[in-house]
Structure 1
Amino acid sequence: MHRRIEAFLEMMAAERGAARNTVLAYAADLEDFAAFCAEAGVAPDRAETATLRAYLGRLHAKGLSARTAARRLSALRQFHLFLMREGVRADDPTATLEAARPGRRLPKVLGEQEVLRLLEAARALPGREGLRATALLELLYATGLRVSELIALPRAALRPGAEAIVVRGKGGKDRMVPVGDAARAAVQAWLAAEDEARAGKPPTRWLFTSRAAAGHLTRQRLAQILKDLALAAGIDPARVSPHVLRHAFATHLLAHGADLRSLQAMLGHADIATTEIYTHVAPGRLERVVATHHPLAQRPPRRRSG
């Protein structure tokens, strides 16, 4: 059974370009299901719908969230489709199963003034530390990149004079994201300081280098940098993370008139329904759109004669 799980995970990574974190999550989910089947005396690749339903019931009894249960069921669906494709079984026992619909959580968002305070805290840091923190924060807020996309940016991602960067996103898909003047200047200042500090050494591959095994800044270190900036800016560190900055990028753009399709392209969302959640965070923007663009919104009221 473990060999089949490994084969499935290899297929997800090689054929579908699944991210490493996705593969690890699927591995943990399938191992958990295999352990449940072992208790029930059932081979996981021969489990029937009743066994799968009992497993989902166990998850509910343990108090797992609807979101987690939905993710586990998604892993099981993908796995059983793989088993059918490989000829291991002729049916899909997950076909009639439904997980509880997870509630749609609104993203946590920082206000525009709070982001400015974070930027001021970054610029106040001395030397290369401040230049790096400023470049990281400016890029996060200017582009809405995922943390995995930001830390893995190559040094050549933003060349002098370029007004956009090409980002390798989920599933190995590339997208082009515009970068404003402030972020471009911050990146060039950081690179100049890096070049000076590394004079005589071979050029680096990454935009944000690190002594970590990957050679670039880790997501953990980036998260800590943002927490430190939050403290310096007088903001609760629990409210600040790379993902929160991505939400701030999207929400503030939408509030200032950006359209959903453009926002979807910049965020790298496969489905615009994912992008639409930001309309719930910035409802005032929708009211302004109607007031500005509806043909009757600007018409003065008719005076009654007599």
Structure 2
Amino acid sequence: MKLESFFQYLEFEKRFSIHTITAYRKDLQQFMEYLSKALGIDQMQEVRHSHIRSFMVELITEGREARTVNRKLSTIKAYYRFLLRRGHLAEDPTLKVSAPKLPKRLPGAVRKEALQILFSEVTFPEGYEGKRDRLVLELLYATGMRRSELIALRPEDFNWAQQEILIRGKGGKERLVPIGKSLVLEVQDFIRWREELHGANKQKLLLLTAKGKPMYPKLVYNIVRKYLSAVSPDERLGPHALRHSFATHLSENGAELNAIKALLGHSSLASTQVYTHNSVERLRAVYQQAHPNAKGED
């Protein structure tokens, strides 16, 4: 079935690691065993798209996750592309096979207690970068803004008297988000530090690197991950985790879904409901624990 030539192609032409090639080998061996035992097929040329779908259904029936099924399908597709390019096949049966949809993975909300520790007990470095890093975390959690929106913030976007920020979101949409007095004072203090260090900034942005350049996405990610890792064991600790925490904590404290939708800058409630699913799960747990009918009592 041209297997060995395929593995040599992966090793010497594609330069895949031994670990990856081993995974490919296992996936193809499993597929071929299924073809032989379940369908009586011993030649890859005999395989049709219905046979591949049947294999995927078998995997799902066994309880394999969609991500695992997708990986095995990817291996099969790679093998058939190889056979097609080498002239061993006239057509590719995998073209009519679609991968199962993966469940959307959102970052978990960071616990309120962990964030309280972050802002009250974690020590930030002295000087501009320490103040900037703390402000990055404060703004993301206090407003639920996106990383791109944070990077684009300018001092004039703050209305000090009304204690609110003008945030420019996706598609040029703008929204006003309120902030507390303590954050207003922190931003004002930071601006003074920034002006002392960088002077009049031609970029006109609030947050800058130590060299006076605009912040960039990877830097924001690194800052957030560095400090959240100190207070949370979760592995998905980028800026979006703070946006999710903002929405989840509002929901847990009784905020209406439409209000959260407006604060996040969503165009539909469906998007907001995804961010607040943790609150629904916690409400379900409370219901199951406390409601007589949930416990099967009269």
- Cα offset, 1:260, TM superposition: 0.2
1:131 alignment partner in structure 2: 131
Contact 2:143 2:263 in 1 (8 A): yes
1:242 alignment partner in structure 2: 239
Out of 249, 252, 267, the residue aligned to residue 249 of structure 2 is 252
1:264 alignment partner in structure 2: 261
1:223 alignment partner in structure 2: 221
What secondary structure sits across from 1:277 in the alignment?
helix
Judged with a 3 Å threshold, the aligned counterparts in structure 2 of structure 1 residues 221 and 237 are, in CA distance, closer, same or farther, namely: farther
- Cα offset, 1:235, TM superposition: 3.2
Rounded Cα–Cα distance in structure 2 between residues aligned with 1:202 and 1:138: 22
Judged with a 3 Å threshold, the aligned counterparts in structure 2 of structure 1 residues 197 and 274 are, in CA distance, closer, same or farther, namely: same
1:205 aligns with 2:217: no
What secondary structure sits across from 1:184 in the alignment?
helix
- Cα offset, 1:272, TM superposition: 0.4
- Cα offset, 1:162, TM superposition: 3.5
Contact 2:142 2:246 in 1 (8 A): yes
Judged with a 3 Å threshold, the aligned counterparts in structure 2 of structure 1 residues 202 and 112 are, in CA distance, closer, same or farther, namely: closer
Judged with a 3 Å threshold, the aligned counterparts in structure 2 of structure 1 residues 105 and 234 are, in CA distance, closer, same or farther, namely: closer
Amino acid at match of 2:128: R
What secondary structure sits across from 2:165 in the alignment?
strand
Contact 1:138 1:182 in 2 (8 A): no
Unaligned runs of 5+ in 1: 1-52, 65-96, 291-306
Contact 1:228 1:237 in 2 (8 A): no
Contact 2:143 2:179 in 1 (8 A): yes
Rounded Cα–Cα distance in structure 2 between residues aligned with 1:140 and 1:63: 40
Higher Rg: 2
Rounded Cα–Cα distance in structure 1 between residues aligned with 2:165 and 2:203: 18
- Cα offset, 1:165, TM superposition: 1.3
Contact 1:208 1:217 in 2 (8 A): yes
Contact 1:123 1:134 in 2 (8 A): no
What secondary structure sits across from 1:165 in the alignment?
strand
Rounded Cα–Cα distance in structure 2 between residues aligned with 1:256 and 1:134: 24
Contact 1:109 1:248 in 2 (8 A): yes
Contact 2:128 2:210 in 1 (8 A): no
Judged with a 3 Å threshold, the aligned counterparts in structure 2 of structure 1 residues 105 and 148 are, in CA distance, closer, same or farther, namely: same
Aligned-pair identity (%): 34
Unaligned runs of 5+ in 2: 1-48, 54-68, 77-96, 288-298
Judged with a 3 Å threshold, the aligned counterparts in structure 2 of structure 1 residues 105 and 203 are, in CA distance, closer, same or farther, namely: closer
Judged with a 3 Å threshold, the aligned counterparts in structure 2 of structure 1 residues 289 and 203 are, in CA distance, closer, same or farther, namely: farther
Rounded Cα–Cα distance in structure 2 between residues aligned with 1:288 and 1:258: 19
2:149 alignment partner in structure 1: 149
- Cα offset, 1:210, TM superposition: 3.0
Scaled by the length of structure 2, the TM-score of the pair is 0.57
What is the root-mean-square deviation in Å for CA atoms of aligned residues?
Answer: 3.5
- Range moving further from structure 2, 115-124 or 259-268: 115-124
Rounded Cα–Cα distance in structure 2 between residues aligned with 1:275 and 1:63: 36
Scaled by the length of structure 1, the TM-score of the pair is 0.56
Q: How does 1:56-67 map to 2 (within 5 A)?
A: 61-62=73-74
Rounded Cα–Cα distance in structure 2 between residues aligned with 1:107 and 1:160: 32
Judged with a 3 Å threshold, the aligned counterparts in structure 2 of structure 1 residues 216 and 63 are, in CA distance, closer, same or farther, namely: farther
